[in-house]
């Protein structure tokens, strides 16, 4: 599966910098943030495409006031999304900025009109947010665009994930990526449950990854080691920006460390091969081998008193020790001589 020119699921993890609300209502800040994400080593940047009135109702009723123990408690849903949304008229400029910076840009649509708008911009992939995974008509409409569909599973039950995957496949789209996600902001590390990355992949026969809302890098690095092929993290130009997502976003320096740590984890995984590489081969002289530890006359038997196992590895392997005991020396041998086959009669 490819997103633009990036082959998903091969050697490199696809690392996404999530812009989200971290533009703080400024196009100039959004442009600078994307350029910084490129410098930090991201492969892609992701937007969110909605307006407040397409995602919630403009109501001050009790039901529409956030009180979930989140960073946004006390705001109405409309107030939050009105502040957080990315103006649609920016999208073309942001896509051009990303491409000039060597990044892939795509977005999360939150309704069918947004999908149509993003299609006009030739987006290479779509992301379904955690809280939209039960919106099967939206997923079906998106999947029919025949672009890779990434879906976060943060608040979804097994059945809801299965329904979403089945809708994509029935629409003829098998390019599905499922992201393990803890939908808390920020998310406690102990709730990450990264073992689910492999389980989700097995259960739904999909490429899997992580949408990471934890603080720091350890969760994402561990996810890469456990097989995550896509990792998403919120990115901000400056943490002093008054953004709804600032508390769980990484700035340029932090994101650079984040990327570097993931790339190091990838290198450490290596490949399955028992062959000893050159770097290790040269250190095999530190292994043990058999040595003569007392002067031995020709014809004298080898015993536990005159041979033993020591470093460096210049003689016969110690695994032959018991076979050699009782055999005779083929010539006189001085103490401290590595025992080799030509010295055995």
Q: State the average pLDDT over residues 36-48.
A: 98
At residue 104, the pLDDT reads 98
Domain boundaries, the chain: 2-50+85-269, 278-343
**Cβ(117)–Cβ(88) under 8 Å?**
yes
**Rounded to an integer, what distance in angstroms lies between the CA atom of residue 263 and that of residue 184?**
26
Q: Inform me whether the pLDDT recorded for 68 exceeds 70.
A: no
User: How confident is the model over 279-299, as pLDDT tens digits?
Assistant: 788 889 999 999 999 999 999
Average confidence (pLDDT) over 32-60: 94
Q: Angle at which helices 27-39 and 91-100 pack, to 10 degrees?
A: 20
253 pLDDT above the threshold of 80: yes
Class of domain 2-50+85-269 as given by CATH? alpha beta
* Residues 206 and 177 sit within 8 Å (Cβ to Cβ): yes
> Tell me: the pLDDT tens digits for 190-209?
888 899 999 999 999 999 99
Q: What is the pLDDT of residue 183?
A: 66
Judge whether 241 and 198 are in contact, CB under 8 Å: no
What mean pLDDT comes out for the span 244-255?
A: 89
Burial of 122 (0-12, 13-18, 19+ CB in 10 A): exposed
pLDDT tens-digit series, residues 111-123: 999 999 999 999 9
pLDDT at 185 over 70: no
The larger pLDDT score, comparing residue 9 to residue 109, is at: 109
| 248 Cβ contact list (under 8 Å, min separation 6) | 185, 186, 187, 213, 214, 215, 234
The CATH code for residues 278-343 is: 3.90.1210.10
104 φ, ψ to 5°? -90, 135
């Amino acid at each position: 599966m490819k997103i633009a020119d990036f082959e998903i699921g091969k050697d490199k993890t696809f690392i996404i910098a999530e812009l989200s609300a971290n533009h703080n209502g400024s196009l100039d800040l959004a442009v600078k943030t994307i350029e910084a994400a490129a410098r930090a080593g991201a492969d892609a940047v992701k937007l969110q495409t909605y307006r407040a009135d397409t995602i919630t109702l403009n109501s001050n009723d009790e039901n529409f006031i956030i009180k979930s123990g989140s960073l946004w408690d006390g705001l109405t849903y409309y107030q939050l999304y009105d502040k957080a949304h990315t103006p649609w008229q920016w999208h073309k400029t942001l896509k051009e900025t990303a491409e000039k910076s060597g990044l892939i840009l795509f977005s999360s649509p939150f309704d069918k009109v947004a999908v149509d708008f993003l299609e006009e911009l030739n987006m290479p992939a779509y992301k379904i947010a955690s809280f939209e995974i039960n919106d099967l008509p939206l997923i079906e409409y998106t999947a029919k665009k025949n672009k890779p569909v990434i879906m976060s599973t943060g608040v979804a039950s097994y059945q809801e994930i299965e329904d979403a995957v089945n809708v994509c496949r029935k629409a003829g789209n098998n390019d599905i990526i499922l992201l393990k996600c803890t939908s808390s902001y920020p998310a406690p590390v102990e709730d990450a449950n990264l073992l689910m990355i492999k389980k989700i992949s097995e259960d739904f026969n999909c490429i899997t990854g992580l949408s990471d809302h934890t603080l720091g890098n350890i969760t994402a690095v561990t996810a890469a080691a456990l097989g995550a092929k896509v990792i998403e993290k919120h990115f901000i130009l400056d943490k002093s920006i008054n953004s709804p997502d600032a508390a769980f976003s990484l700035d340029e320096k932090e994101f650079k460390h984040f990327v570097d740590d993931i790339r190091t984890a990838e290198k450490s995984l290596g490949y399955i091969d028992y062959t000893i590489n050159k770097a290790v081969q040269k250190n095999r002289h530190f292994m043990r081998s058999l040595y003569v530890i007392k002067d031995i006359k020709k014809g004298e038997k080898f015993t536990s008193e005159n041979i033993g196992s020591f470093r460096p590895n210049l003689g016969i392997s110690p695994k032959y020790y018991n076979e050699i005991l009782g055999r005779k020396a083929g010539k006189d041998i001085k103490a401290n001589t590595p025992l080799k086959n030509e010295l055995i009669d």
